[in-house]
Amino acid sequence: MIDISRPLTPGHPTWPGDAPFRLEAGGRIARGDSVNTGELRTSTHTGTHVDAPWHYADAAPRLGEVGLEVYLGRCRVLRVEAPAGLVGPDALAPLPGTLPPRLLLHTGQPAHWAEFPAAFAALDPAFVREAARRGVRLIGTDSPSVDPLTSKTLDAHHACLGAGILILEGLNLSAVPDGEYDLVCLPLPLVEADGAPARAVLLPAGTLPTGDPA
């Protein structure tokens, strides 16, 4: 099992303007309480997280309306380059015409972010459409977003919406070789939310039952 989630440690950076990540003490046995507890505050898009379509379209489903099936099953990890800042459809040229339903993109982000990355590889909408044509229903990336930091139009997000592709961002793929795996990604069940932090792991391909529902 390979854990591809980003550890949420004190000071973990969040998207500029989002609520900072804070885990503060609640009860403490050392202070006379019966148990240790904590109080958590953060953005729904902290670290490794999923985007519900409602995050970028008001009429689209919220997280509680998105089934878990697309987050579980065969995936392909692919190292890609973005010389001009965007991963283009040519990145898929060496791959078969039909891909697993889940495509995880290793763009070169490090395992730990001391500061929020201002420069990262985003996706060309043409890449999204070509991935969908090959059967992809979930795109994951080690970048914090599929769109550039300064984007206001969110072209890649909307291309995903139009193609029926869900989005998983902020993965840690720094130690993962290219190839096929089984993905298990479980976002927090925040029913009315626009997204949620997730725990994501890779298993050897074929570990999960056959018959991919996505």
Q: Which residues are marked as active site?
A: 55
Q: How many CB atoms lie within 10 A of CB 152?
A: 7
Question: Phi, psi at residue 40, to the nearest 5°?
Answer: -110, 130
SS3 183: strand
| 122 vs 109: CA distance, rounded Å | 12
Q: Is 158 annotated as a binding residue?
A: no
Determine contact, residues 43/15, Cβ cutoff 8 Å: yes
- DSSP lists the bridge partners of residue 38 as 25
Q: Is 113 annotated as a binding residue?
A: no
Q: Is 112 annotated as a binding residue?
A: no
Q: Is 15 annotated as a binding residue?
A: yes
Q: Is 39 annotated as a binding residue?
A: no
**DSSP secondary structure string, 93-132?**
TTS-SS--SEEEEE----S--SS--SS--EE-HHHHHHHH
From the annotation, which residues make up the binding site for substrate? 15
From the annotation, which residues make up the binding site for Zn(2+)? 45, 49, 51, 157, 169
From the annotation, which residues make up the binding site? 15, 45, 49, 51, 157, 169
